[in-house]
């Protein structure tokens, strides 16, 4: 069924449930299915995208307070894979102590995680890469974890600016060995790019 063009749509119509969470390296679960992780700066629209992708209203918690996700949250999609919501990063109100804990948690998660098929790194299309994003990209390169850029909130960015941004990002990505060469453009509000993202995930698992 995986080769069927309708498979991605079928897959993301299946039950998805919260499985477990980890807020320190020792709590990372030992799971037996492929994992697809989502990372990004706080307030990039990560929870909204995950909810839209999975056809749910509130599976991943959204908040008007950036930085609310402070742990790795694992969601089981049928019996096919786990969707991992990683802690948001780069929010000034989070203490340096917490940032250090988050960093260590993420590094431990990425290190030798054979089940992790890809990290989708979310970038706000209105702002492009910021220094914290580049730090995470270097971390992913060092861990040799395949990752792909997902531009969010494209409905709020003029087409001409979006085209320029994609060109700039594509050039930057050539310098990062673990990065997939092209970004995915999405809008949780308009539903744009969700089918393409679902198809990508279906191929990976």
The model's pLDDT over 88-116, given as tens digits with 9 standing for 90+, comes to 886 555 566 666 766 788 888 998 788 99
Q: Provide the pLDDT confidence category of residue 65 given band limits of 50, 70 and 90.
A: very low
For 52, 55, 96, 167, the CA distances from 164, given in Å and listed in that order, are 26, 31, 34, 5
Residue 69 pLDDT > 60, yes or no?
Answer: no
E strand or H helix at 118, and its extent? Answer: strand 116-124
Residue 3 pLDDT > 50, yes or no?
Answer: yes
Give the DSSP letter string of 49-68: HHHHHTT-SSSS---SSTT-
Least confident of 52-61, 71-80, 133-142, 191-200: 52-61
The stretches of the chain forming alpha helices (DSSP H) are 7-11, 46-53, 96-110, 131-143, 159-173, 194-204
Q: What is the pLDDT of residue 63?
A: 41
Query: Domain boundaries in the chain?
Result: 7-204
Fold observed for domain 7-204? Rossmann fold (3.40.50)
For the stretch 143-177, pLDDT in tens is 999 999 999 999 999 999 999 999 999 999 999 99
Q: What is the pLDDT of residue 2?
A: 56
């Amino acid at each position: 069924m995986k080769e069927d063009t309708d498979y991605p749509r079928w897959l993301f119509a299946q039950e998805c449930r919260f499985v477990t969470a980890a807020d320190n390296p020792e709590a990372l679960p030992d799971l037996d299915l492929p994992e697809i992780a989502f990372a990004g700066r706080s307030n990039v629209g990560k929870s909204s995208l995950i909810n839209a992708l999975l056809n749910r209203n509130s599976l991943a918690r959204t908040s008007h307070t950036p930085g609310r996700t402070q742990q790795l949250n694992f969601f089981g999609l049928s019996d096919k894979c786990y969707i991992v919501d990683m802690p948001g990063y780069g929010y000034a109100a989070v203490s340096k102590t917490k940032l250090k804990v988050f960093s260590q948690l993420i590094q431990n998660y990425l290190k030798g995680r054979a089940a992790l098929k890809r990290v989708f790194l979310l970038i706000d299309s209105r702002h492009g890469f910021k220094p914290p994003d580049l730090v995470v990209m270097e971390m992913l390169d060092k861990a040799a974890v395949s990752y792909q850029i997902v531009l969010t909130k494209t409905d709020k960015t003029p087409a001409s600016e979006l085209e320029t941004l994609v060109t700039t990002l594509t050039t930057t990505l050539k310098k990062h060995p673990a990065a997939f060469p092209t970004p995915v453009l999405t809008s949780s509000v308009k539903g744009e790019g969700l089918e393409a993202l679902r198809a990508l995930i279906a191929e990976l698992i």
